[in-house]
Structure 1
Amino acid sequence: MHAPDQTDLLTLLGTGLAVVGLDGRVAWLNPALGEVLDVGPRTAQGQDLAVLMRAPSLSAQLARVLAERRGFHLRGLALGLRGREVSADVSLQPIDDERVLVEVHPLAHDVASGATPLSATLRGFAHEVKNPLAGLRGAAQLLQRRVGDDDLRQLAGMVIAEADRLAALADGLLRHRGAARIGPVSIHELLDRLEGLVAAEPDAPHVRHDFDPSLPDSVGDTDRLMQVLLNLTRNAGQAGASTITLRTRVEHGARLGDRTVRAALRIDVMDDGAGVPDDLRDSLFQPLVSGRPDGTGLGLALSREIALEHGGDLRYTSRPGETVFSLYLPMERTHE
Structure 2
Amino acid sequence: MHAPDQAELLTLLGTGIAVVGPDLRVLWINPALGEVLDVGPRTAVGQPLGLLLRQPLLAGQLERTLAEGRGYNLRGVTFGVARGREVTADLAMQPIGDGRVLVEVHPLATDISGSDTPLSATLRGFAHEVKNPLAGLRGAAQLLERRLADSDQRQLAAMVIAEADRLAALADGLLRHGGAARIGPVNIHELLERLEGLVTAEAEAPRVRHDFDPSLPDTTGDNDRLLQVLLNLTRNASEAGARTITLRTRIEHGARLGDRTMRAALRVDVMDDGPGVADEMRDVLFHPLVSGRPDGTGLGLALSREIALEHGGDLRYVSRPGDTVFSLYLPMERPHE
CA distance in 1, matches of 2:9, 2:196: 39
- Equivalent residue number for residue 197 of structure 1: 198
Q: By how many angstroms is 1:9 displaced?
A: 7.7
Letter in 2 for 1:72: Y
1:36 is matched by which residue type in structure 2? V
- Aligned counterpart, 1:61: 61
1:231 counterpart residue number:
232
CA contact (8 A) 2:110 2:335 kept: no
Distance 2:291 2:124 in 1: 19
**Structure 1 residues 156-171: aligned runs within 5 Å:** 156-171=157-172
Instruction: Report the secondary structure of 2:308's partner residue.
Output: helix
Percent of counterpart pairs with the same letter?
Answer: 77
Q: How many residues align?
A: 332
Structure 2 match to 1:48: 48
Task: Identify which range, 178-187 or 130-139, moves more after superposition.
Answer: 178-187
Among candidates 71, 89, 92, match of residue 90 of structure 1: 92
CA pair 207-53 structure 1, distance change in 2 beyond 3 A: same
Greater CA drift, 17-26 or 51-60? 17-26
Q: Deviations over 1:189-234 (max 9, x none)?
A: 1111111111111111111111111111221111111111111111
Q: Specify the alignment match of 1:292 in structure 2.
A: 293
Query: Distance in 1 between the 2:287 and 2:24 partners?
Result: 23
Specify the alignment match of 2:275 in structure 1.
274
User: Counterpart in 2 of 1:70?
Assistant: 70
Equivalent residue runs for 1:234-273 within 5 Å: 234-273=235-274
Cα distance in 2 for residues equivalent to 1:105 and 1:209: 32
User: What is the TM-score with the length of structure 2 in the denominator?
Assistant: 0.90
Q: Give the TM-score normalised by the residue count of structure 1.
A: 0.90
1:79-158 map, 5 Å? 79-82=79-82, 83-97=85-99, 99-113=100-114, 115-158=116-159
SS in 2 for 1:305: helix
Quote how far apart the aligned CAs of 1:112 are: 4.3
AA at the equivalent of 1:23: D
Structure 2 runs not aligned, ≥5 long: none
113 and 29 in structure 1: CA distance in 2 versus 1, 3 angstrom threshold: closer
Contact preservation (8 Å) 2:89, 2:105: no
* Structure 1 outlier segments of 4+, above 4 Å: 4-15
Quote the Cα distance in structure 2 between the aligned partners of 1:171 and 1:265. Answer: 28
SS in 2 for 1:177: coil
The answer for the alignment partner of 2:327 in structure 1 is 326
Q: 2:221 is matched with which residue?
A: 220
In 2: Cα distance, 1:260 partner to 1:10 partner: 32
The structural deviation recorded for 1:31 is 4.0
For residues 277-298 of structure 1, give each alpha carbon's deviation from its aligned partner in whole angstroms, at most 9, with x where no partner exists: 1111111112211111111111
Q: Distance in 2 between matches of 1:280 and 1:332?
A: 33
Shift of 1:303: 1.2
Q: CA RMSD in A?
A: 2.3
Q: Once the two structures are superposed, what CA deviation does each residue of 1:40-81 show, in whole Å capped at 9, x if it has no partner?
A: 333333322111112222101221233223343434432222
Report the Cα offset of residue 22 of structure 1.
3.3
